[in-house]
């Protein structure tokens, strides 16, 4: 009986880490992305893609994302400012804009809806990512002069 109990406890212990590491399902209106880059406070700047880690096509190098996440994880990320990291998280599909960004203004094809410039939006047009995890990469980040 003791042997059976020991086997059950051992099996439960071995299964627990696998269950804890399962990722939550991705909502239909979102996408899970892994992006290399650098941070400054809660802002993440996407870095260059590599051929072995192509990433998500709509997130181009230099794009700024506002990070959301648990305080402990955000503190860990903040401790690595100045180092290249990769974040993994969920983003809404519709928050990417077509067009070129020039001087804080996005110029996109087609006309704009009437009164589009008259309304305030939460986040000021900033793309958001709900950070699920991160890892440090080789290399450093460029610093502003």
* pLDDT class of 125 with cuts at 50, 70, 90: low
Count of CA atoms in the C-beta half-sphere (13 A) of 57 = 1
Report yes or no on 104 lying in a domain: yes
Q: Which residue do the tokens 């996005």 mark?
A: 106
Of residues 17 and 97, which shows the higher confidence score?
97
Find the range with the poorest average confidence among 29-33, 92-96, 111-115, 135-139.
111-115
Structural domain harbouring 98 = 24-109+121-140
pLDDT tens across 26-42, in order? 889 999 999 999 999 99
Q: Is the pLDDT confidence value at 21 over 60?
A: no
The enclosing domain of 46 has a CATH number of 2.40.50
Rounded CA-CA distance 141/38 in Å is: 6
Alpha carbon dihedral 31, 63, 37, 123, in 10-degree steps, equals: -70
Q: What's the mean pLDDT in 31-60? A: 82
Q: What share of the chain is helix, strand, coil (3-state, %, to 5)?
A: 25, 35, 45
Q: Which 8-state DSSP code applies to residue 20?
A: H
Residue 94: its pLDDT value, please?
Answer: 75
Q: Is the pLDDT of residue 78 over 80?
A: yes
Residue 15 placed within a domain: no
Residue 135 lies in a domain: yes
Q: What is the pTM of this model?
A: 0.64
The total number of structural domains in the chain stands at 1
Q: Decide the pairing of beta strands 64-68 and 127-140.
A: parallel
For residue 67, pLDDT over 70 is answered with yes
2 located within any domain: no
Give which of 16, 5, 9, 144 is closest to 82, Cα–Cα. Answer: 144
3 found inside a domain: no
């Amino acid at each position: 009986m003791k042997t059976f109990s020991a086997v059950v406890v051992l099996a439960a212990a071995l299964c627990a880490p696998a269950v804890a590491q399962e990722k939550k399902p991705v909502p239909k209106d979102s996408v899970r992305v892994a992006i290399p880059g650098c941070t400054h406070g809660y802002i993440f700047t996407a870095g260059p893609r590599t051929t072995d880690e192509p990433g998500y096509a709509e997130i181009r190098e230099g794009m700024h994302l506002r990070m959301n996440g648990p305080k402990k994880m955000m503190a860990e990320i903040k401790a690595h400012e100045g180092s290249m990291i990769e974040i993994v998280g969920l983003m809404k599909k519709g928050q990417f804009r077509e067009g070129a960004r020039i001087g804080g203004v996005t110029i996109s094809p087609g006309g704009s809806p009437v009164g589009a410039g008259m309304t305030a939006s939460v986040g000021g047009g900033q793309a958001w990512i709900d950070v699920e995890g991160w890892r440090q990469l080789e290399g450093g980040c460029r610093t502003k002069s």
